[in-house]
Structure 1
């Protein structure tokens, strides 16, 4: 299914220990692992899909796949979090491709929920999010994924490389080109998005 890249060095993965404990029958380890990895996976899926409900479905499917991998997981071949983010990214990509085949306009996609207080702040954040989502949707798929994982999820280039199954230099190139393209797409909207003084 998903090939795991070999890792070097003695670095340990506490998530792999939890996965092994779950495989041995410890259900509390599964709950702990879900609490550790679930929020990040959900944030990644929500940003990629711009639909919280659909993102929750993706994360649920990704976690089910992780539980199925648990008995045969080989510690040291991949970080559990990297594997999970990669599965989430692939599932999201599949859904985005299905959307494009249906020609669903971006405006028809539900906005993710925003818990920030204040109507003005809420409107500003929604406007910025919609602008960013629209701009990301105009980028080539791999550029959009690399930019989102780096600058929205805060992942490092080696982890993104593992998730996307490419080299670190390719990640750097995709991210740089994606940032330049986003800046060009959003350049005329600074004032509207509240960045006029930046």
Structure 2
């Protein structure tokens, strides 16, 4: 008798990503479904923020996951984290697409879940802030933008970002610091318009 997917998912909640990938490589399709459910939202979010376009981001996320499934039989646990590997692949795929376009596209912030308690004015202000951040991020050099998005939007730590971007910790710190200063300068004249106090 086959166990329902929800029961399998609950059973695998505590299984690390690397172990799930190994299970998939050994023929466990349920492990792939659980791993996809875990990783797809973050990969898609990263691609949307880098590309600024949902349909293209969908293609990148799908390609990144396909590459993960292809390398699954050769995966060696303990050498790298699946999430770090996948972030790097996603970033590279996005960069390739941006270079093919011949220009850097403005980033669209991923849509926030609707807040039923927020007023229309609050929703409009949140949207304005997201659009302003997206436009400001688009003005940053590519590497600064990638570092800032991974650190301050994706919430990754510097060591993980260093692995994804294949740079030193010092370079990550430098890129994120310069990126934050540039964002502050770009947005400084819009504090009142965006509803930020001087505190």
Q: Does 1:184 align with 2:196?
A: no
2:113 maps to what in 1? 115
Asked if 1:95 corresponds to 2:97, the answer is yes
Cα deviations by residue, 1:113-159 (Å, 9 ceiling, x for unpaired): 44324543332222112211111111111011001100000000000
Stretches of structure 1 lacking an aligned partner (at least 5 in a row): 1-12
Q: CA RMSD in A?
A: 2.0
2:40 aligned partner? 38
Verify the 8 A CA contact 2:104 2:138 in the aligned structure 1.
Answer: no
Specify which structure has the bigger relative contact order, considering alpha-carbon pairs within 8 angstroms and separated by 6 or more residues. 1
Q: Which runs of 5+ in 2 are unaligned?
A: 1-14
Contact 1:19 1:30 in 2 (8 A): yes
Q: Once the 2 structures are TM-superposed, how far is the Cα of residue 96 of structure 1 from its aligned partner?
A: 2.2
1:82 corresponds, among 54, 71, 84, to: 84
The alignment's TM-score, normalised by the length of structure 1, stands at 0.84
Instruction: Determine the structure 1 residue equivalent to 2:9.
Output: none
Query: Residue 75 and residue 111 in structure 1: after superposition, are their counterparts in 2 closer, same or farther (change >3 A)?
Result: closer
Matched residue, 1:49 = 51
Aligned to 1:9: none
Larger Rg computed on CA atoms: 2
TM-score of the two chains, using structure 2 as the length reference: 0.84
Aligned to 1:193: 194
The answer (yes or no) to whether the contact 1:45–1:88 under 8 Å persists in 2 is yes
Quote how far apart the aligned CAs of 1:97 are. Answer: 2.2
Taking the aligned partners of 2:121 and 2:97, their CA distance within structure 1 comes to 32
| In 2, Cα distance between equivalents of 1:79 and 1:23 | 16
Count of aligned pairs between the two proteins: 182
